[in-house]
Chains A and B, each alone.
Chain A
């Protein structure tokens, strides 16, 4: 019979496929018969078209639908009842397994739980970090003006700069829609009442449109007018509660004192705003109207450096920031002070959304975070989670021997491979959901502590984070599927006869290879993290113990900026020096380890004015250099200097080199510093660290100003004797006697040194935590494998013992493989870890070499930990009575 007489084969096949699993043989037959009939009456194409029409109609017909259902019933695949009881049975089997294999299940649940908890914690953290400043309307077109200038080898960026550029730019640039300028009152204010003096640190002056420009909602007061009047202030809700007991405080008066010059102002409360959210880069409690500053200036008592402000602007809709950036060079040319050009200072812009994660400027409102840090956390957490997944895969496949019976029986009873895969997936999903439960418990306990560890407070609320919650559920499913995938595929492939006989068809090389790879991967990750932790720890210690070039022990730094305390400096100094436990007292503009005070000018010029160098300077009194034991290389300090104040400068070594002098010719050279002073160099000190070790030592010069005690903000008191506490008390008493108006604020310099490395401390904490987690999960996995090995090798070891093997040799046999793997893992991890830690260290101008010790330490710890984790099990096998193990057959 010719091909032409049959209907199109592909069509009938497609039809049959669509109708699966229904039996439609007769329908096909009917259609073919009709097709042949039709061929005699009409053209072939028409007959084919009719055939197609019949297929089309039949596919959707009641007949086929009905037959599909019937067929399904017959194969017992589609009955809801059957599916229910099947899955119920899976569930039951899983729970039974949990009971009989408690330790394995706990290892899995614990590993996954810890991994997921870490994962959720980090996700929460990362999400909250990325949400910074996004709550502002128009946050995406809000920018700020910044300033960049070179200082030594580095480029310094500051958030604070002269406030008059922005209005000029706005007037000539249609791309700038609105501007808002803020003066940070960095010293805070003192809220004065009859009974008390309370220091409020979070204070700023802001332009009148502040509450329109930013989305900080007002609880009372009109956003358009609240900051219009001079001497008006908006306060936060919590401050209103603190001082007035409620938030209906409009019109109340607040008396505040300004520490920098001791002035006192009566401010009228014109509004209350909701506390600024945690994910804002500004957290102020008092916003004083900018008009206040202007009014004071008009009255001839302007604030010092009031023009140094934070300058925010909004782009008009659809405008590009390039339009603003293009304008900057012109603005610099026409309007910037001349030292901008001399020093290489330039204006720039930055998006507000980038402030928290992508910048770390001088004079920020608050310290920012960095994107790299978040990326690192994400990578760490992926490591941890994948280690938990590896554990599951390993333990599940290692137990395949006692799974094989179940697989065999199920297969004999007619279970298909897909159903078996489903059965094992159910198991891994249950484990991962149990892990989720554990993770939730860990999370609720750990959230507050994590806040301490990372320096941020985190919270979880269902309203705010429901999307995350869904994500976590999704992740749990994903983890379940990932960890169960390979075991399910592997175990569902057992041959029923072999597995029922108790032989394993597939303890093949591939499984062993996979298992080894995963174990090595786990230990490699742990080893890498350990190397990381060790390097961070070493660097941290190095920075703490590095010789700074100035004395740090037994030195108290007292803040004397408050309420004009510095005006009584002489009296204070004399009284303190009279104390027996005080060795020396000195005043300076800033205490060590705080930022240099970069005034408006910081240039130093050679006398002919041809070359300018920007460098930091420090105003000091006669005793400062001596008190801190700063080494003089040549010349003298100020202690016995007989010239006029401002007639001599002391350079540090870098400054001398920068200016092109050397130790022989430097003394007596004339330079020009700001304001037309032409001091001579009277001495050179060795380089010393005034800032933290994260900053390279740059050129610095000292300036002695005897006649202006109000320019000193810090007092250094060096104690002698052993009892520092007693010394501190005595200093405090004197301070309180002489300066009643402002509180005694102090710190010990060496405490402050530790705090200067807070970032490194957080880094260390995080790294440490994660490497502990990683090694815990890895060793749990090793423990599980060892337990499994112990079970499967029980008889072998029994035979060996009977034949005279010693405990030691059995121990060795049991642990040899793991130890090899751990060593290999270390060898793999080291170069990778070295590479990355080297990158990390490169950011530090002063760093400790990584050194071989770190690696040996890591190797030692990982071998020890892995040996400890399997040691117990191996020991039990080694000392067990061979009779027992051999009797069980």
Chain B
């Protein structure tokens, strides 16, 4: 089971990487919503994050309570080695497919 990364999962993983040290629930949510222009529920996001954690792609640490959170801790996420490898694997698979001449011809108008 491990190793397969779904589309939304990939999005979350990439967002966490992109956010670097500032990746926690709300920031990830806002980021994805802004970039992908879609609204996501916090329940769905956390469920996905939990699954990714279970699969070993990300790890979390607690910290950084702020006033606007009512003094509650943030859970920061970062990618594990496996997470990074998994993303790389997907990227190389995609690159390979994109590099295919047929795909290039068919998609050239859309890139």
Bound: A31/B72 CA distance, A: 10
B6 contacts A by Cβ under 8 Å: no
With both beta carbons as reference points, the residue of chain A lying nearest to B46 in the complex is identified as A63
Among the stretches A53-61, A577-585, A694-702, the one at the interface with B is A53-61
Assess whether A402 is interfacial by the CB under 8 Å rule: no
Q: Which of A27, A29, A54 is within 8 Å of B65, CB to CB?
A: A29
Interchain CB contact under 8 A, B70 and A27: no
Q: How far is the CA of A58 from the CA of B65 in the complex (A)?
A: 21
Query: Which residues 679-720 of A sit at the B interface, judged by CB distance below 8 A?
Result: none
A39: min CB distance to chain B, Å: 11
- Tell whether, in the assembled complex, residue A63 and residue B47 are in contact, meaning their CB atoms are under 8 Å apart: yes
Nearest-Cβ distance from residue A19 to partner chain B, whole angstroms: 12
A73 to B72, CA, bound (A): 24
Q: How far is the CA of A395 from the CA of B70 in the complex (A)?
A: 55
Interface centre among A28, A29, A53 (most CB of B within 10 A): A29
B70-85 residues at the A interface, CB under 8 angstroms: 70, 72-75
B50, closest chain A residue (CB): A63
The reply on A726 being an interface residue by CB < 8 A is no
Contact of A25 with B47 in the complex, beta carbons under 8 Å: no
Query: How distant is the Cα of A774 from the Cα of B36 in the complex, in angstroms?
Result: 82
User: Do A26 and B25 touch (CB < 8 A)?
Assistant: yes
The answer to whether A6 has its CB under 8 Å from any CB of chain B is yes
Q: Is B89 an interface residue (CB 8 A)?
A: no
The interface residues of chain B lying within 8 Å CB-to-CB of A6 are: 70
B50 contacts A31, C-beta separation under 8 Å: no
Interface residue from B26, B43, B69 paired with A57 (Cβ < 8 Å):
B43
Across-interface contacts of A53 in B (CB, < 8 A): 41
Our pick among B44, B50, B51, B70 for the contact of A32 (Cβ within 8 Å) is B70
List chain B residues, Cβ under 8 A from A803. none
Residues of B within 8 A of A32 (CB): 68-70, 72
Q: Does A1 touch B at the CB level, under 8 Å?
A: yes
A816 on interface, CB distance cutoff 8 Å? no
Write the chain B residue with the least CB distance to A29.
Answer: B72
Q: Is A36 an interface residue (CB 8 A)?
A: yes
Nearest CB on A from B22, distance (A): 13
Q: Which residue of B lies closest to A36 (CB)?
A: B68
Residue A255 at the B interface, CB < 8 A? no
- A62 with B70: in contact, given A26-B75, A57-B42 (CB under 8 Å)? no
Q: Which residue of chain A is the closest to B41 with respect to CB atoms?
A: A57
Q: Which residues of B contact A26 (CB under 8 A)?
A: 24-25, 62, 72-75
Give Cα A554 to B35, complex, Å: 119
CB neighbours (8 Å) of A63 from chain B are 43, 46-47, 49-50
**Which of chain A's residues has its CB closest to B63's CB?**
A26
Instruction: Say yes or no for B67: interface residue by CB 8 A criterion.
Output: yes
A27, B25: Cβ atoms closer than 8 Å:
yes
* Chain B residues with CB under 8 A of A61: 43-44, 46-47
Contacts of A66 in B (CB 8 A): 50, 54
Residues of chain A within 8 A (CB-CB) of B74 are 26, 29-30
Any B CB within 8 A of the CB of A333: no
Q: List chain B residues, Cβ under 8 A from A102.
A: none
> B66 contacts which chain A residues (CB < 8 A)?
33
How far does the alpha carbon of A63 sit from the alpha carbon of B25 in the complex, in Å?
12
Q: How far is the CA of A62 from the CA of B53 in the complex (A)?
A: 12
In this assembly, does A34 line the interface, its C-beta being within 8 Å of a C-beta of chain B? yes
Nearest to A1 among chain B residues (CB) is: B67
A25 to B62, CA, bound (A): 10
Within 8 A of B (CB), among A1-52: 1, 6, 25-34, 36
Residues of B within 8 A of A29 (CB): 25, 65, 69-70, 72-74
Across the interface, do A58 and B73 meet the contact criterion of CB distance under 8 Å? no
Q: Once the chains bind, are A58 and B46 in contact (CB under 8 Å)?
A: yes
Tell me the bound Cα distance from A34 to B30 in angstroms.
Answer: 9
Q: How far is it, in angstroms, between the C-alpha of A60 and the C-alpha of B46 when the chains are bound?
A: 12
* Chain A residues within an 8 Å CB radius of B26: 30, 33-34
Contact digits for B26-45, partner A, Cβ 8 Å, 1 yes 0 no: 10010000000000011110
Find chain B residues with CB under 8 A from A36 CB. Answer: 68
Closest chain-A Cβ to B83's Cβ sits at a distance in Å of 18
A608 nearest CB across to chain B (Å): 105
Nearest CB on B from A53, distance (A): 8
In the complex, how many angstroms separate the beta carbon of B45 from the nearest chain A beta carbon? 9
| Least Cβ–Cβ distance between B26 and chain A, in angstroms | 5
**Beta-carbon contact of B67 and A54 below 8 Å:** no
- CB interface residues, A 833-865, toward B, < 8 Å: none
Q: Given A1-B67, A62-B50, A62-B51, check contact A28 B41 (CB 8 Å).
A: no
B94 to chain A, nearest CB (A): 28
A26–B44 alpha-carbon span in the complex (Å)? 15
Residue in chain B with minimal CB distance to A12: B70
Q: What are 16 pairs between A and B in contact, CB < 8 Å?
A: A25-B62, A26-B24, A27-B25, A29-B25, A30-B25, A30-B29, A30-B46, A30-B69, A31-B42, A34-B29, A34-B42, A53-B41, A61-B43, A62-B47, A63-B46, A63-B49
State the B residues within 8 Å of A (CB): 24-26, 29, 41-44, 46-47, 49-51, 54, 62, 65-70, 72-75
Q: 10 closest A-B pairs (Cβ-Cβ)? A: A29-B72, A57-B43, A30-B25, A26-B75, A29-B69, A62-B47, A63-B46, A63-B50, A61-B43, A32-B70
- On A, residues with C-beta under 8 Å from B are 1, 6, 25-34, 36, 53-54, 57-58, 60-63, 66-67
| Contacts A28-B70, A30-B46 supplied; 9 other A-B pairs, CB < 8 Å | A30-B26, A30-B29, A30-B74, A32-B72, A33-B26, A34-B29, A36-B68, A60-B43, A61-B46
